Every structure is written in C-alpha cells, then in structure tokens.
C-alpha cells in the first residue's frame, strides 16, 4: 500500500450551508496548527455493504466529507466488507450512489477492506509468531462464557498457552481450509482480566466458508471489525477516524493495533454521538425487518428513512446537508425531532421549487356567464421571488376543479372562500361571485355555480378594484392533468418507536400513505422524474423517480408547507 497522493476530492456540486464549528473540527484545527500528521487531513466513511444507507449515515457522510472539503483534505470511501455472508454488490452500488447523491465525491479514494486481506493476514502471522495472538478452539458459547462480564473478570482459555509454532501451524491450516466454520478462531493475547471487555483477548479472525462479493472463494478466514478497521485506517493514512460513541471503549484496541504493528501511519479515532431521529428507526436491522415484513414498499419507499427513500420522497441533497449542519456534532446522545429535518427540507425547497397548482379533493365550479367553449389564457410566476424563472400559463374555462373545502353552503364565521353570495378571487384569474350549488339525492354538493366579474382579471389595470378576502386555486376541467398523488405522513405514530421492550413494528402509523387522483395544471405533464414543485397550499411535491411516465408524472409529497405536527 503506497501513501495516497492523489488530489483532494472535487468540491461537491451542492453548496453546503456555511458550516458551524464542532469539537472534531476544533481538534483538526489544533492538529493543523501543531503540524501533527504533517498538515494532512484524511477522513473516511466506512459503511458495511449489508444494507442501504439511512439518515444517520448522512450525518457521518456530511461530517467526514465536509471536513475533507473544508480543510482541503481527502475523504476515503471505504467498504468495510469483512462479513461475506451479509454483503452484496447491490448494496455497494446503492451506497456509492447515495453518497454521490448527497453531493460528495471521493475522487480516486474508493477502497475495500477486502483489498487488504493479504496484508491483514501477514500482520496476523506477525502477531502469532511474536506470541501476541493464539488460536483458540473453544466454541463460540464457551468463548462468551470465559469472557466474563462487566463485573466479573474473564478466564484464560485452555488453549491460550499454545506455542507460537503450534499457533502458526494451526492458523495456516485455518487459512488453507482444513477446518469447519467455528472450529477455531484467532485471538489477540491481551488480558482476560481487563476492566475493558474489548481487551479480553478479542477475536481477530474467524473461519467462514462463504463466497465473498469481491474475493470470491479466495479466503475462508475473515478478519473481524476492530482489527480490520484500525489497520485499514492506518494503511490508508487516515488522520482522523471519526466514528460513533459506541466505539469509545474500542479505542484502546484501535490504538493497540496501530502501535503494535508496523503500519505506515498513526491514525487517531474520535467519537461523536449518533443521530437518533424521532418517528423513525435508524438501524439497518430494523429497516430490513420493515422491508422483509412487507410493512413498506421496499428500501426506497418514500416513507423509509433510507437515503434512497428520502430521495424518492423529494428531499434534496442540499436540504439534507442543511439538516446535518443544523443538528451539529457533539459527544452527548440526544434525539433530534423529525420536524427539524422537515423544516430543513422546506427551507431548501421554498427558495427554489417552481410553483404549480393541483386540486387534491375536486369539486366542480361552473362559471355560468362564460360560454362552454370559452378558453382564456391566464398566467402566474413560476416562483414569486424569482422573476427570472419566468411565468407559467394555464387556461381558464367555464368548468373548473376547485378544492371541496373551498365551498361551504353555510360558512362558519371567518370563512372567506366560496359560499352563496360570497366573492373570491380565482387565483391568477378573475373575481367570481357564488350563486349557489347543485346537490345529489343524498344532499351532497356536486357542483358550485358562480358568475365572473369582468374587469377583474389579475394583472390587468384596475383588476383589484373589487376587494376580496378569499383567494382560491383552480384548474380547467377540460385541460387538467389527472394523475396519481401520494401524500405521506410519518412512518411511525410515536416519537420513540419500540421504546422499552415493545416491538417497534407495533408503532407503525397506519395512515402513513394516502393515494389519490389529483387534477393538476396542464403544464405539469412536462414534469420530469425528480423535478420538485410547490403545489400551492398543499406542500412540496416531487415527480416520482420510479413510477412517473412521459407525460404522466406521479407525484409524491415531500413535506407540507407548515409543520402540522407541532401544536400551536
Ligand atoms: P446500523 O446501526 O444502522 O446497522 P452501522 O453503524 O452498522 O449502522 P455502518 O455501515 O457500519 O452501519 O456505518 C457506517 C458509518 O456510519 C459508521 O462510521 C457509523 O458510525 C456511521 N453511522 C451509522 N449510523 C449512524 C447514525 N445513526 N448517526 C451517525 N452516524 C452513523
Ligand atoms: Mg456497523
């Protein structure tokens, strides 16, 4: 392994919000000042390719790649692929895609721990030859029993006293495939009485007769996480190895490997608090259970907290980066409220999403003083604050769809929309006066009638002479694009799914998905997959990546316009 010398990764396509400082950045600044690591900054993002990335990973991605970006360093994309039974190329591809989608680029620094299997094995032989590691033949259960507990010291394995020669012979036979899974393991010879359980002769190699997604049948022994991780960092000249707090107690072991093997660099591990998000679960194990149990429509279901899921949901990379900036990085565990994520997405979309009209719960409005064949162009700004984004056009005709909730036969106090005798503005069109409604035999309103007031067309001189308090959106029935719209709510009904011993699946929100047919302004037929819009009054929507067809986009609601969960 030679020292990576390639240029830093390219700047991300998405501009991040100005980063706020955090304790890890402070450490790096100190290290740069003191000349530690010779002024280099190299971080890494090391997922195991055994599932799809989730929002928790986004925090780690933004932290690691963000540091590389801001300190002119490099961030390595490294797959920690040491468990052949659980890992698949499909996950590798999806993870790479998600990191790229988040706006980051590893440049030439794409690595796989499995690329180091040869070197890791050579180091292990050194440990064995030196008497620092031994082959143990206890069963997995016995190893656990001998390990002791937090309050009881462990006991030495009867095989701990094997000679280096015996160990080397056995270890080589393990590698050669002479033994079945579980027959032997290689353990570090540290201290079975250490108060830190991680130092009680940790297992560093195990036998696993299973094809590996990259090395195929080449190996039947595989190194374990702690060993592989520390050494991969050192081999890649990582300077700051940032991981979540649960690895704090593993740091002495990390340091042991780095200090006791002839590795080419001295990385250091730092721990930060993982992201916990309310109304969500962020654990691959639980996410797998949701997919396999059919509780969601796959990994990229827009309700899933996976990065492929939030992407389909319409969340933006910049919004995700903004969220990660806002939550910061600290050393104490806490819960972040889902509304913080939703607000970041809203704030990002508000500034850029083109506006459009969609009627989600249609009721017919008939303008009785327009001819049946009347078609008149109306227009509106694509974005109210960005005139440079241009205008959009849509036709006004005699029959329109309006929202059912925009008519009340007997309006409650303070209701400013349509009711018999009331006047409202058809947004970007004319003021109309309501003249009555038609009902079916059950008394249900099936159409509303009105008259258009001439000289009130939006944007024409004197159009605002008639003052109205209500402003409603509409689409021409003859021209509307009828298409599927999915409204999503939080996947879980409670902030802490599975709290206590409870099965987290019992906390699923049964109303997390509503599918309906909406009537959209005709221009939306040209929406391309992943194009995002604000549907006025309804929130931010995205043309679904998977189900949209040319001319017939299907829309997913990313987020409502306001936080509807916080009580006011
Ligand atoms: P899970 O707990 O979901 O199985 P993991 O930690 O096993 O996740 P890895 O693939 O090992 O997943 O994670 C890759 C990197 O992402 C690690 O550095 C890990 O610390 C980090 N990471 C995982 N979950 C979170 C989280 N909730 N918040 C912040 N970082 C996380
Ligand atoms: Mg893990």
Q: Other CB atoms closer than 10 Å to residue 503's CB: what's the count?
A: 10
3-state helix, strand, coil in the chain (%, to 5): 30, 25, 45
> pLDDT tens digits, residue range 345-390?
999 999 999 999 999 999 999 999 999 999 999 999 999 999 999 9
Dihedral angle sign, alpha carbons of residues 269, 93, 206, 246: positive
Kindly give the number of the ligand 1 atom that is closest to the alpha carbon of 285. 4
Distance 226 CA to ligand 1 centre (A): 15
- If one residue of 47, 102, 332, 335 were mutated to test the ligand 1 pocket, choosing by the most ligand atoms within 8 A of its CB, it would be 47
Degrees, nearest 5: CA angle 557-562-568? 140
Active site members: 48, 274, 284
Q: Which of 475, 484, 562 has its CA nearest to residue 527?
A: 484
Distance 146 CA to ligand 2 centre (A): 25
Distance 47 CA to ligand 1 centre (A): 7
Q: Determine which residue's CA is closest to atom 15 belonging to ligand 1.
A: 47
Alpha-carbon separation of residue 383 from 189, 351, 380 (angstroms): 66, 9, 8
Kindly give the number of the ligand 1 atom that is closest to the alpha carbon of 275. 28
Instruction: Name beta bridge partners: 396.
Output: 376
Ligand nearest to the Cα of 79, by number: 1
State both tokens at 226. Answer: 């702690």
**How far apart are alpha carbons 237 and 233 in whole angstroms?**
6
Distance 232 CA to ligand 2 centre (A): 15
What residues flank ligand 1, with Cβ below 6 Å?
A: 46-48, 56-57, 59-60, 243-244, 274-275, 282-284
Ligand nearest to the Cα of 51, by number: 1
pLDDT in tens, the chain (568 residues): 333 333 333 334 344 445 678 999 999 999 999 999 999 999 999 999 999 999 999 999 999 999 999 999 999 999 999 999 988 899 999 999 999 999 999 999 999 999 999 999 999 999 999 999 999 999 999 999 999 999 999 999 999 999 999 999 999 999 999 999 999 999 999 999 999 999 999 999 999 999 999 999 999 999 999 999 999 999 999 999 999 999 999 999 999 999 999 999 999 999 999 999 999 999 999 999 999 999 999 999 999 999 999 999 999 999 999 999 999 999 998 899 999 999 999 999 999 999 999 999 999 999 999 999 999 999 999 999 999 999 999 999 999 999 999 999 999 999 999 999 999 999 999 999 999 999 999 999 999 999 999 999 999 998 888 999 999 999 999 999 999 999 999 999 999 999 999 999 999 999 999 999 999 999 999 999 999 999 999 999 999 999 999 999 999 999 999 987 654 3
Ligand nearest to the Cα of 274, by number: 1
Distance 482 CA to ligand 2 centre (A): 45
* DSSP states of 184-205: -EEEE-S-TT-SSGGGSS-EEE
Q: Which of 318, 280, 298, 314 has its CA nearest to residue 556?
A: 314
In sequence order, what are the residues at sequence separation of 6 or more whose Cβ sits closer than 8 angstroms to the Cβ of residue 66? 16, 19, 321, 324
């Amino acid at each position: 392994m030679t020292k990576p010398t390639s240029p830093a990764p390219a700047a991300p396509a998405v501009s991040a919000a100005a980063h706020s400082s955090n304790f890890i950045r402070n450490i790096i600044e100190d290290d740069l000042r003191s000349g530690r690591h010779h002024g280099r900054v190299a971080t890494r993002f090391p997922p195991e390719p055994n599932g799809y990335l989730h929002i928790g990973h986004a925090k780690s991605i933004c932290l690691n790649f963000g540091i590389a970006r801001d300190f002119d360093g490099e961030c390595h994309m490294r797959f920690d692929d040491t468990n052949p039974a659980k890992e698949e190329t499909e996950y590798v591809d999806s993870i790479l895609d998600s990191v790229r989608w988040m706006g980051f680029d590893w440049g030439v620094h794409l690595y796989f721990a499995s690329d180091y299997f040869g070197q890791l094995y050579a180091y292990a032989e050194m440990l064995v030859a030196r008497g620092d590691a031994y082959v143990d033949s206890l069963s997995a259960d016995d190893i656990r029993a001998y390990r002791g507990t937090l309050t009881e010291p462990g006991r030495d394995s009867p095989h701990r006293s094997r000679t280096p020669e015996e160990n080397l012979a056995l270890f080589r036979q393990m590698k050669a495939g002479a033994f079945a899974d579980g027959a032997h393991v290689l353990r570090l010879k540290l201290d079975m009485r250490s108060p830190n359980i991680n130092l009680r002769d940790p297992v560093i190699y195990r036998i696993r007769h299973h094809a590996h997604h990259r090395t195929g049948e080449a190996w039947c022994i595989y190194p374990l996480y702690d060993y592989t991780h520390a050494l991969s960092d050192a081999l890649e000249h990582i300077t700051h190895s940032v991981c979540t707090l649960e690895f704090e107690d593993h740091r002495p072991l990390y340091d042991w490997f780095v200090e006791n093997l002839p590795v080419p660099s001295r990385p250091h591990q730092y721990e930060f608090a993982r992201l916990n998000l309310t109304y969500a679960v962020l654990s691959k194990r639980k996410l797998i259970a949701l997919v396999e149990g059919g509780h969601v429509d796959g990994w990229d279901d827009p309700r899933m907290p996976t990065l492929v899921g939030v992407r389909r949901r319409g969340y933006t990379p910049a919004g995700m980066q903004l969220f990660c900036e806002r939550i910061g990085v600290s050393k104490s565990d806490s819960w972040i409220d889902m509304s913080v994520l939703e607000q970041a997405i809203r704030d990002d979309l508000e500034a850029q999403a083109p506006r459009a009209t969609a009627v989600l719960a249609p009721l017919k409005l008939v303008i009785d003083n327009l001819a049946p064949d009347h078609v008149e162009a109306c227009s509106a700004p694509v974005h109210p604050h960005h005139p440079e984004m241009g205008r959009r056009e849509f036709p006004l005709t005699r029959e329109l769809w309006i929202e059912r909730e925009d008519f009340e036969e007997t309006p409650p106090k303070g209701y400013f929309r349509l009711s018999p005798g009331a006047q409202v503005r058809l947004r970007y069109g004319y003021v109309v006066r309501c003249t009555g409604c038609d009902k079916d035999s059950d008394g249900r309103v099936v159409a509303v009638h009105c008259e258009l007031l001439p000289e009130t067309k939006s944007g024409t001189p004197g159009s605002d002479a008639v003052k109205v308090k209500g402003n409603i959106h509409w689409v021409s029935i003859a021209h509307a694009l009828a298409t599927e719209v999915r409204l999503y709510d939080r996947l879980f009904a409670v902030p802490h799914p599975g709290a206590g011993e409870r099965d987290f699946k019992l906390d699923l929100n049964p109303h997390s998905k509503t599918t309906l047919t909406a009537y959209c302004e005709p221009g939306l037929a040209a929406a391309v997959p992943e194009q995002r819009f604000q549907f006025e009054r309804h929130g931010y929507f995205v043309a679904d990546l998977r189900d949209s067809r040319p001319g017939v986009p299907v829309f997913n609601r990313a987020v409502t316009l306001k936080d509807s969960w916080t009580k006011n």
